[in-house]
Structure 1
Amino acid sequence: MARRAKRLWTDEEKRSICFQTTAAGVSVAQVARRYAMNANMIFKWLRDPRYAPTPDAVEDVAVEAPCFLPVEIVDRPRTEYTVPPPDPKSGQGTIEIDVAGGHRLRIIGAY
């Protein structure tokens, strides 16, 4: 069994990771998973005054309300990559989303 090398975090990295736990709707476990570390390590850092975010810094964080993104429905000619239209009897439908870089996301599923 391979042994992991101990990671060393700089003080600035610890402060940054601890600060991320102050965002609305974000848990310590989520931040820990983001950095592939144990949440107990973050809780330990949060108890240390060198790394714990100050209350005034937490108040300065602008919390944006959730919002919808604009969507445009375009009627365009079919290309060779487009799947055939769904069969209403099968109960399946398709959604195609063109994203940046010319990539296309295709979702096929039941109604």
Structure 2
Amino acid sequence: MGANLSVHRRNRSWPESLKREIVAAKLEPGASVAAVARHYEVNANQVFAWRRRFGAAGLDIMTPTLVPVVLTGEVPSLAPPITPDDRIEIELTGGYRLCVGGDASAATLRRVLGVLERR
């Protein structure tokens, strides 16, 4: 049998207003669960449970919200368009060198590279 038989654990009852106050304290910028738990003399696991239960939605504080965004027109490309005169060289292992013009499709390039990789 354990040496601490005379020590009884007492479950404390916390008023809901205090629970909400503790959760709100955790939501302050830079606050940690451990620091808030020490300040209020509660177990950190209890703060986590109350935070899940009440969260920011259950508190009377401002919370960030999502705002709808509407895009109009086309999004400009950051890269200049590729022209047929543009060329790139790709050097592959095995001594292969591939010269590709700007008019080559991505599908064709994938097919050629796939064949060379299998060699």
Give TM-score, length-normalised by structure 1: 0.44
Higher helix share: 2
Higher strand share: 1
Q: Which has the higher contact order (CA 8 A, sep 6+)?
A: 1
The structure that has the greater radius of gyration is 2
